[in-house]
Structure 1
Amino acid sequence: MKRVLLFAVAGAAGFLVDAGILALLLWATPLGPLVARLFAIAAAMLFTFWLNRTFTFGHSARSLSAEGARYGGVGISAALLNYAVYSALVLAFPALWPVLAVAIASLVAMVWSFLGYSRFVFGASSPSK
């Protein structure tokens, strides 16, 4: 249960980075909500990798490169899922505030990524916390 809570905290922090960068880019640049979100997702993914590796799951027994590749694979699949849900919401509901679409998409991707990180990246071979 502790890992789920820490993961949720890391996800919430990642959401703040994601939504904050999205809002900033929409305000300060001519980028639209779809392109701006690509930059926001990338920043949030890097930030949550650091949080999850440091606080939630710890380092795995795998090499850093293997761990990074696995984390990246799960993270990219979660980001694609997140972006697909976000894009579908923005396109289907043009009046929807983009940050609300980020919240919904992030919740969907959060379930996917927790399952992937806890089982595929840091699974049974990781040191217990």
Structure 2
Amino acid sequence: MPNNSNENSPPKVSRQILRFLVIGGSSVAIDGICYALITTWSGISPDVAKGISYVCGMLFGFWGNKVWTFESTKRSVSEPIFYVLIYACTLGLNVGINRAVLLLAGDEFRLLGFFLATGTTTVANFVGMKFLAFREQLPADSTTSAPSSEPPEVAIPVSDRRAA
């Protein structure tokens, strides 16, 4: 039986957005908890501890978004590569937006810069995850697949096979 549901229907996208925000919040919490634990109970410098804690949050974010948010079952090298590239690009976007707000509005608008940068990169990260890193594959029998150089198979009804 064919699946007639639209893979990008509003309920599915809404569910993905909610899950994306839950995973993102959880990733930040993991980052913070790891940072606190590492800086409290080890002799590691705060900069190295922050790097380690950030990677812990990022790894959880990759796994959570792959498995739960976008329900990707692919096993490919492209997913983690795209994930890292998207987050590297949006880091630059985040810093740039924050800097632009501070330059245009002044240092007293740091909170505005933070929220504009964070909101913009959250949207960019979601779009990047949905359409690049964890994009859905078209079914193999999809009629929207790329045209083939092979001629289409033509089914000959049983009653007409005598003449063929």
TM-score class normalised by the smaller sequence: 0.5 to 0.7
Larger Rg: 2
Indicate the residue corresponding to 2:153 in structure 1: none
Is structure 2 residue 48 aligned with structure 1 residue 35?
Answer: yes
Taking CA–CA contacts closer than 8 Å with sequence separation of 6 or more, which of the two structures ends up with the larger relative contact order?
1
In the TM superposition, residue 31 of structure 1 has moved relative to its aligned partner by 1.1
Indicate the residue corresponding to 1:69 in structure 2: 81
CA RMSD of aligned residues (A): 3.3
- Name structure 2 gaps, 5 residues minimum: 1-13, 100-113, 140-164
**TM-score (normalizing by structure 1):** 0.64
Deviations 1:48-90 (A, max 9, x none): 11111111002166x5122232223223444x449959xx9xx
1-structure distance, mates of 2:138, 2:37: 37
More helix by share: 1
In the TM superposition, residue 43 of structure 1 has moved relative to its aligned partner by 0.7
- 1:15-34 equivalent positions in 2, closer than 5 A: 15-28=28-41, 29-32=43-46, 34=47
- Name structure 1 gaps, 5 residues minimum: 89-102
Q: Match for 1:11 among 9, 24, 35?
A: 24
In the TM superposition, residue 113 of structure 1 has moved relative to its aligned partner by 1.7
Conserved 8 A contact 1:117-1:123: yes
Count the aligned residue pairs: 108
